């Protein structure tokens, strides 16, 4: 065959499906297919990792990973309890509260809104005891991040936190993170909802 050594010739099988001696089948070599499969797995893995990092929402700062959302609101410091109790009935009968609310993002952009509430709630001693015994929060060294106008209302801590306590204040429309200062009987909530 015109100067190509027999061991290098690529031929198709004969009509009987048998290759001539000294030839290899036409098509990609098996190692090429294996290399392509490994490359595909690596690409899919890289896309999954990047996608996960972009979509993960930090617990206390919704959409913080993109930097796109900021808390906006009127700046009004509120003390009425009814709106808080309507959203978080597990509060029971608080002695008082100071809270702020608003939306994430810009008010001039149309579309559905995601709301936020930051609240510092004073609870009666029996309610504090009940929350601790029911949800077993622990001091993990975490501190709440609240709107600027509410920072002066924060108790000194330490704050007890935990998944069970947070779950008690979260439901289908609101995701809240709860911080309990047992010494002052104060619960701090940072919540996001629709």
- Which residue would you say has higher pLDDT here, 75 or 185? 185
What is the rounded average pLDDT of the residues 111-140? Answer: 90
pLDDT confidence of 60, banded at 50, 70, 90? very low
Q: Which helix (H) or strand (E) holds 72?
A: strand 71-73
pLDDT confidence of 34, banded at 50, 70, 90? confident
Which token pair is 86?
Answer: 């309507």
Q: Above pLDDT 90, what percent of the chain?
A: 43
Q: What is the CA radius of gyration of the chain?
A: 31
pLDDT for the residue numbered 20 = 62
pLDDT for the residue numbered 148 = 87
pLDDT confidence of 76, banded at 50, 70, 90? confident
Where do the domains of the chain lie? 6-55, 71-193
d(CA 183, CA 159): 9
DSSP assignment string, 102-132: EEES-TTS-S---EEEEEEEE--HHHHHHHH
Q: Please name which of 62, 82, 70, 90 lies closest in space to residue 191, comparing C-alpha atoms.
A: 62
- Which residue would you say has higher pLDDT here, 96 or 32? 96
What is the rounded average pLDDT of the residues 119-134? Answer: 95
Q: Please name which of 145, 184, 177 lies closest in space to residue 161, comparing C-alpha atoms.
A: 177
pLDDT beyond 50 at 59: no
d(CA 28, CA 155): 69
pTM confidence score: 0.61
Which token pair is 48?
Answer: 């999954």
pLDDT confidence of 164, banded at 50, 70, 90? very high
What is the rounded average pLDDT of the residues 108-119? Answer: 78
pLDDT for the residue numbered 129 = 94
pLDDT for the residue numbered 115 = 86
What is the rounded average pLDDT of the residues 134-144? Answer: 92
């Amino acid at each position: 065959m015109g100067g190509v050594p027999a061991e290098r010739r690529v031929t198709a099988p004969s009509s009987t499906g048998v290759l001539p001696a000294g030839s290899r089948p036409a098509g990609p070599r098996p190692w090429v297919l294996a290399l392509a499969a490994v490359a595909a797995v690596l690409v899919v893995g890289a896309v999954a990792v990047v996608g996960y990092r972009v979509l993960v929402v930090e617990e206390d700062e919704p959409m913080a990973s993109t930097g796109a959302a900021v808390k906006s609101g009127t700046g009004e410091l509120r003390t009425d309890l009814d709106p808080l109790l309507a959203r978080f009935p597990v509060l029971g009968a608080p002695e008082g509260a100071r809270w702020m609310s608003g939306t994430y993002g810009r008010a001039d952009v149309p579309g559905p809104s995601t709301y936020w509430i930051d609240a510092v709630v004073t609870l009666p001693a029996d309610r504090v005891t009940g929350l601790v015994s029911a949800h077993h929060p622990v001091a993990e060294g975490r501190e709440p991040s609240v709107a600027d106008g509410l920072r002066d209302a924060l108790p000194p801590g330490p704050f007890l936190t935990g998944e069970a306590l947070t779950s008690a204040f979260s439901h289908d429309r609101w995701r809240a993170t709860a911080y309990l200062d047992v010494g002052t009987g104060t619960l701090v909530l940072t919540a996001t909802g629709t």
